[in-house]
């Protein structure tokens, strides 16, 4: 695809990757002397049967009309063109110069670069204002994540990109999204209801809340624990730099049950505004024990009073994890010990994790869970080590498919996921280098009209690359 010219105008110069709904490229508009960059999206077509194509064509035209309206917002890419070529559907949008929000987020817990509370509030207000407009157009983005929020270089404002997963608020699609179809970078930002085809407006609010929590904690969503009784995410710890008020807001943004979340971006914005009126910012938690008191004649606002009853208490009991209000009880001390052991396990120290878990006495209510967890840890660790070794060996032998297969079977352990991620990245770099080399040789042969040699080079392109997939189809 690299080098191909679409509509005698848009020349593909870079592959940005693929998602559930298609392939994305950077192109240059050769109709202009300075050849400005643009983004070209190719819609994935699973069947070329005429009836299926008609359905895709109708939906494509419908969604491009929506994108035209969305592109009128200054923080959403402008719509440039859409067209069909050789039974494939293309969308052209403005290229946003800048960097993804990923570059601004802390890369690890205790790294020293977690965001201040006022920075989080500024981010939320900026991003929520975009979502408020998107939702007002009857659209749900469905893929809000750090990679899809670009900090525009010219003015520092956030731009929300990649509307390839959009759904109409009233579209009525009940199709389930398989976890294997979802890009790894999206997992953790997608709320539970979206996986069963019940996407809501506040599904986007959930994603935004997870990004804010990542900024505050330095932990990616998949590194956070889940309360087994309530299914709520445990994200707040004693040293998390967040006030009770903002913690309650974030907890409501990411509630497991979408009916218990904020119902609109406007609602969250109102609460944030009221928070700024009623509190001084920033306020960092200085103690591990927090008391909530409401005097009979207090002038506290109904909003924060309600949060204390319904949200802040929930945040403390679940979110503070090892430092909850009940931390003085023996059972909670043992639960704290198991949490600490789990953290050691995720960080890569299996023996220390097991040693901590074994400190839990046999008379404790937590003891059966601890023993079962130890067994599971040992099994998962063996699997992870084996799959990592297979991925590493496949990389050395240039067996790219085997790298990806082995990597996908590594259990969700932060330590091993980080190691195998490096292997996958090396494989992708090698695939791209090999592909570009073979494409260059094929083009040279084609220019010399030695088409048989050109085809031979094309057949050697790894099928894991986008160019290789195209060669296989043809």
Which token pair is 402? 């085997």
Query: What is the number of alpha carbons within 13 Å of residue 138 lying toward its C-beta?
Result: 9
Return d(Cα 471, Cα 415) in angstroms, integer.
37
Look up residue 21 and give its two tokens.
């709904």
Pull the structure tokens for residue 280: 């001084």
Residue 129, C-beta contacts closer than 8 angstroms, at least 6 positions apart: 75, 265, 269
Beta-bridge mates of residue 234: 225
Identify whether the C-beta of residue 385 lies closer than 8 Å to the C-beta of residue 411: no
Give the whole-angstrom CA distance, residue 442 versus residue 456. Answer: 8
d(CA 261, CA 158): 24
Give the C-alpha separation, 79 to 90, whole Å: 12
User: Is 276 marked as binding a ligand?
Assistant: no
Q: What is the DSSP string of 249-299?
A: HHHHHT-SSGGGS-S-HHHHHHHHHHHHHHS-S------S-------TT--
Binding-site positions for ATP = 41
Q: Extract the annotated binding site.
A: 41
């Amino acid at each position: 695809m690299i080098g191909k010219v679409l509509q005698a105008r848009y020349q593909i110069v870079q592959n940005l990757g693929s998602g559930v709904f298609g392939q994305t490229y950077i192109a240059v508009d050769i109709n202009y002397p300075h050849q400005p960059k643009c983004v070209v999206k190719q819609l994935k077509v699973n069947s070329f049967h005429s009836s299926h194509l008609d359905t895709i064509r109708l939906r494509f035209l419908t969604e491009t009309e929506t994108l035209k309206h969305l592109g009128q917002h200054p923080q959403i890419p402008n719509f440039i063109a859409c067209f069909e070529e050789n039974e494939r559907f293309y969308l052209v949008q403005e290229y946003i110069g800048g960097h993804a929000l990923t570059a601004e987020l802390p890369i690890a817990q205790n790294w020293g670069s977690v965001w201040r509370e006022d920075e989080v509030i500024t981010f939320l207000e900026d991003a929520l204002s975009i979502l408020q407009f998107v939702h007002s157009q009857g659209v749900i983005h469905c893929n809000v994540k750090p990679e899809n929020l670009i900090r525009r270089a010219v003015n520092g404002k956030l731009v929300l990109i990649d509307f390839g997963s959009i759904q109409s608020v009233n579209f009525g699609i009940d199709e389930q999204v398989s976890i294997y179809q979802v890009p790894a970078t999206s997992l953790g930002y997608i709320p539970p209801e979206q996986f069963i085809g019940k996407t809501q407006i506040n599904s986007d609010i959930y994603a935004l809340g997870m990004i804010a929590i990542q900024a505050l904690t330095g932990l990616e969503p998949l590194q956070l624990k889940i309360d087994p009784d309530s299914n709520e995410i445990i994200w707040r710890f004693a040293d998390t730099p967040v006030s009770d008020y903002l913690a309650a807001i974030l907890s409501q943004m990411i509630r497991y049950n979408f009916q218990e979340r904020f119902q609109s971006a406007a609602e969250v914005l109102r609460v944030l505004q009221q928070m700024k009126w009623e509190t001084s910012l920033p306020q960092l938690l200085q103690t591990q024990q927090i008391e909530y008191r409401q005097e009979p004649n207090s002038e506290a606002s109904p909003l924060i009073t309600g949060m204390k009853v319904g949200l802040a208490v929930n945040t403390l009991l679940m979110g503070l994890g090892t430092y909850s209000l009940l931390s003085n009880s023996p059972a909670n001390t043992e639960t704290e010990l198991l949490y600490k052991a789990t953290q050691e396990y995720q960080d890569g120290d299996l023996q220390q994790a097991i040693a901590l878990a074994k400190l839990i006495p046999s008379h404790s209510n937590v003891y059966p869970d601890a023993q079962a967890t130890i067994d599971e840890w040992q099994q998962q660790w063996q699997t992870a080590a084996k799959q990592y070794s297979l991925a590493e060996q496949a990389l050395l032998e240039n067996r790219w498919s085997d790298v990806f297969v082995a990597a996908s079977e590594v259990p969700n352990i932060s330590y091993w996921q980080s190691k195998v991620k490096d292997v996958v990245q090396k494989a992708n770099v090698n695939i791209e280098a090999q592909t570009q080399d073979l494409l260059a040789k094929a083009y040279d042969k084609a220019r010399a009209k030695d088409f048989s040699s050109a085809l031979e080079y094309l057949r050697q392109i790894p099928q894991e690359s986008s160019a290789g997939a195209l060669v296989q189809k043809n």
